[in-house]
Amino acid sequence: MAEFTLELNDDQKQVRDWLHGFAADVIRPAASEWDEREETPWPVIQEAAKVGIYSLDFYAQQFFDPTGLGIPMAMEELFWGDAGIALSIVGTGLAAVGVLANGTEEQIGTWIPQMYGDADDVKVAAFCSSEPDAGSDVASMRTRAVYDQAKDEWVLNGTKTWATNGGIANVHVVVAVVDAELGSKGHASFIVPPDTPGLSQGQKFKKHGIRASHTAEVVLEDVRIPGHCLLGGKEKLDQRLARARERAASGGERVKNAAMATFEASRPAVGAMAVGTARAAYEVALDYAKTRTQFGRPIIDNQGIAFQLADMRTQIDAARLLVWRASWMATTGKPFTSAEGSMSKLYASETAKKVTAQAVQILGGNGFTREYPVERMHRDAAIYTIFEGTSEIQRLVIARTLSGMPIR
């Protein structure tokens, strides 16, 4: 088991520097353009694929880093470049994690490569869980999956929303209800293969931030998929549902549903994204404060500015430490007995909002314009406290874990 350490090894440092160079040389110069266009930056994704960043091999190497720091390190550097473009590059990863968390070895080997394509023909994937009336309240999910035993097919009907890459993805991973009586424990995840009839893109959202990342509704109308597209297989599903029914009848321990298994695995990674955005804004503010003069001296000479920057850096480092701890715990199999995964996501996302707002304030009028990147970073940072579990939900998870009480 890898010991927890705050020191990256030589291989990790080399990867970090490589990613930082790509973020600085490719992502940042394109950030403003694709934010204004509000379109998927396919050329940038293709460049990432050409150098090996947008690939199954790269993410597998980082995912299986024995220290657990590969993924958060990668997320921080890419999102330091730009949150919208970075999310377009890594958004497929959430669908891949959904398959890794719930799928068989055969399903993992079959579908994850199709999510990425190759450097000459890049593809993306989408994880579809949220619905118009079921965001944080996953028990209210209405999308249904009904098994047609005669044809060994599942039939999916419903509408998903807030899906990154929704409708433009080559592969969609869809969470649906298979047993409504079990609430959120009666959910399962399904692969919808490319060009499956009945799946279409609904509304594409025009967003406050991360505008280079495609977010849309996904509509499922009598979508028929083969039985082998149920992640984990039907035998495993039937066993899990039987256990859930027994526990529900006896009032025993609950089992995790498919969507929550995916979100638990990804929360520290989202925290790392927030750290990257916060760090980027802090660095812009620090450089600006050193060069901007008022009353005959750099504004960093004023305690009112210098103390803000000191707090910003302290909060960023604290957030990174929480993310690294949670990532190491997840990789080494240590249980989140105090909801450490949610802690990391909560603190890092709140830090990103606060730090980017302070950066705008330090830049003053310039910070409020699109001539400087902190305006975009501030808009981007808002999403971290919302997606993959709002800050309120993270606090609920932490409070329930610490107290053992069903806090509502």
What's the per-residue H, E or C state across 36-70? HHCCCCHHHHHHHHHHCCCCHHHHHHHHCCCCCCH
Q: Which of 76, 77, 217, 388 is catalytic?
A: 388
- Could you give the 3-state DSSP secondary structure of residue 298? strand
> Does 388 qualify as catalytic in the annotation?
yes
Give the closest residue to 273 by CA, choosing from 33, 81, 51.
Answer: 81
Give the closest residue to 98 by CA, choosing from 402, 388, 334, 407.
Answer: 388
Averaged pLDDT, groups of 10, the chain, 408 residues long: 84 98 98 98 98 94 94 98 98 92 95 95 96 82 97 98 98 97 93 98 98 98 98 96 87 55 75 98 98 97 98 98 96 92 97 98 98 98 95 95 93
What's the CA gap between 81 and 74, in Å, rounded? 11
What's the CA gap between 67 and 349, in Å, rounded? 23
Both tokens assigned to 44: 């940038």
Q: Looking at residue 6, what is its pLDDT?
A: 81
CA distances in angstroms from 401 to 139, 323, 328, 335, 398, listed in the order given:
19, 18, 19, 12, 5
Both tokens assigned to 214: 């495609």
